[in-house]
């Protein structure tokens, strides 16, 4: 067991500072104070973060910390702390570590007994979840599903009977195919898409997964909030209706039978017999 007090001594500290997810005014007084006080700020993209820092007249030195240099830069941060500097880590938007880099450096710094202090603020998943009108707890934050469709489908299959609200991040290029996979794997559940949060074109789009199959192209940043599995989902499944719903979308009957059998944990042959009997 190890206990570390964040503010017990004036030790050099790694601060994880949450920054706005769109509206530049969504930053805490404390975050601005800390960003002004540290010796160095590590960020994903120096050009993106410079816009925010300029807005608050923060002139601290910037250095990069992103997915591709994380292995090397975490040791540089450790060196900074060892030589007496305090540093802040920010991401392009929202909370560092939340679908963003930072986890490995937090582990490393804590292993070396330096304080890690999180300065809370905006994160897109909590902003989207709280305005979704889907049950906010319990809930699971998943982040991004795989961008590979076969892997994404497998991930969804492991979540099929998860009984609580699930929150995903998704890009506008993939949202339609993801909603199609959701419908095929999860059946007809409620879903909410929270788009462009805190920005001019902020909106929520709510409906069933079936309705979402006809959604127009979406632009901007998206949070997808999906209703959890309900017991009754499986009580009297109208399997044939579900098979035909997929066929109507252009899925072959063979594939539709396979998908529906999997959705309800039934042998493929049972659904095949049902389909060919009518």
List, in order, residues 6 or more apart from 95 with CB less than 8 Å away.
16, 18, 120, 121, 122, 123
Using the contact rule CB under 6 A, the part of the chain among 52-60, 88-96, 178-186, 254-262 near ligand SAM is: 88-96
- Could you identify the residue written with the tokens 């059998």? 261
Q: Which is nearer to ligand SAM, 34 or 218 (CB)?
A: 218
Closest separation between CB of residue 210 and ligand SAM, Å? 23
Handedness of CA 181, 185, 186, 189 (dihedral sign): positive
Closest separation between CB of residue 176 and ligand SAM, Å? 15
Using the contact rule CB under 6 A, the part of the chain among 77-85, 109-117, 166-174, 263-271 near ligand SAM is: 166-174
- Find the binding residues for ligand SAM in span 9-38 (CB under 6 A): 21-22
**C-alpha to C-alpha distances, 243 to 63, 142, 213, nearest whole angstrom:** 54, 28, 15
Binding flag, residue 196, ligand SAM (CB under 6 A) = yes
Residue in the shown chain whose Cβ atom is closest to ligand SAM:
94
Residue from 14, 17, 42, 94 binding ligand SAM (CB under 6 A): 94
Backbone angles phi, psi at 30, to 5 degrees: -65, -40
Nearest to residue 194, comparing CAs of 161, 216, 160, 168?
168
Using the contact rule CB under 6 A, the part of the chain among 91-99, 101-109, 205-213, 238-246 near ligand SAM is: 91-99
List, in order, residues 6 or more apart from 179 with CB less than 8 Å away.
191, 209, 212, 213, 215
Q: Which is nearer to ligand SAM, 60 or 204 (CB)?
A: 204
Residue from 28, 48, 60, 99 binding ligand SAM (CB under 6 A): 99
C-alpha to C-alpha distance for 230 and 36, rounded to whole angstroms: 49
Binding flag, residue 192, ligand SAM (CB under 6 A) = no
C-alpha to C-alpha distance for 193 and 205, rounded to whole angstroms: 5
Q: Which is nearer to ligand SAM, 222 or 271 (CB)?
A: 222
Binding interface with ligand SAM (CB under 6 A): 21-22, 91, 93-95, 98-100, 123-125, 169-171, 194, 196-199, 221-223
């Amino acid at each position: 067991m190890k206990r570390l007090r964040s503010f017990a001594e004036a030790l050099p500290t790694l601060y994880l500072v949450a920054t706005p997810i769109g509206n530049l005014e969504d930053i805490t007084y404390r975050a601005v104070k800390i960003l002004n006080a540290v010796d160095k700020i590590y960020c994903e993209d120096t050009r993106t973060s410079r816009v925010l820092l300029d807005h608050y007249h923060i002139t601290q030195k910037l250095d990069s910390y992103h997915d591709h240099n994380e292995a090397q830069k975490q040791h540089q941060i450790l060196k900074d702390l060892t030589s007496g500097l305090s540093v802040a880590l920010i991401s392009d938007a929202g909370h560092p570590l939340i679908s963003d880099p930072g986890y490995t450096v937090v582990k490393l710094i804590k292993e070396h007994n330096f304080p890690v202090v999180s300065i809370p603020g905006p994160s897109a998943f909590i902003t989207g979840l709280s305005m979704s009108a889907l049950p906010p707890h319990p809930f699971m934050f998943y982040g991004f599903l795989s961008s590979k469709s076969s892997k994404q489908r497998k991930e969804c299959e492991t979540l099929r009977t998860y009984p609580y609200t699930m929150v995903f991040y998704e890009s506008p290029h993939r949202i339609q195919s993801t909603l199609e996979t959701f419908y095929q794997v999860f059946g007809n559940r409620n879903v909410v898409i929270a788009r462009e949060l805190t920005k001019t074109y902020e909106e929520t789009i709510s409906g069933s997964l079936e309705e979402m199959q006809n959604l127009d192209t979406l632009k901007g940043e998206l949070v997808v909030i999906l209703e959890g599995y309900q017991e009754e989902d499986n009580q009297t499944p109208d399997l044939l209706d579900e098979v035909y719903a997929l066929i109507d979308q252009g899925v072959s009957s063979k594939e539709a039978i396979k998908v529906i059998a999997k959705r309800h944990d039934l042998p493929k042959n049972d659904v095949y017999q049902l389909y060919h009997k009518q």
